[in-house]
Amino acid sequence: MKALTETQFSFPNQVSIYHGKVRDVYEVADELLVMIVTDRISAFDVILPQGIPYKGQILNKIAARFLDATQDICPNWKIATPDPMVTVGHKCDPLPVEMIVRGYLCGSAWRAYKNGVRTISGVTIPEGMKENQKFVTPIITPTTKAEQGFHDEEISKEEIIAQNLVSKEDYELLEKYSLELFERGTQIAQERGLILVDTKYEFGKKNGKIYLIDEIHTPDSSRYFYAEGYQQRFDQGESQKQLSKEFVRDWLMQNNFRGNEGETIPEMTAQVVQSISDRYIELYENIIGEPFKPEPTDNLQKRIETRVMEFLLTK
| Tens digits of residue pLDDT in 134-192 | 999 999 999 998 665 456 799 999 999 999 999 999 999 999 999 999 999 999 999 99
Question: Which amino acid would we find at residue 61?
Answer: K
Q: What is the pLDDT of residues 196-245, one digit of tens each?
A: 999 999 999 999 999 999 999 998 899 999 999 999 999 999 999 888 78
- Spell out the domains of the chain, with CATH numbers in brackets: 14-92+268-314 (3.30.200.20), 93-243 (3.30.470.20)
The angle formed by the CA atoms of residues 132, 137 and 141, to the nearest 5 degrees, is 75
Contact present, 227 and 190 (Cβ < 8 Å): yes
The gap between the terminal CA atoms of the chain, to the nearest Å, is 33
Q: What is the mean pLDDT of the chain?
A: 94
pTM: 0.90
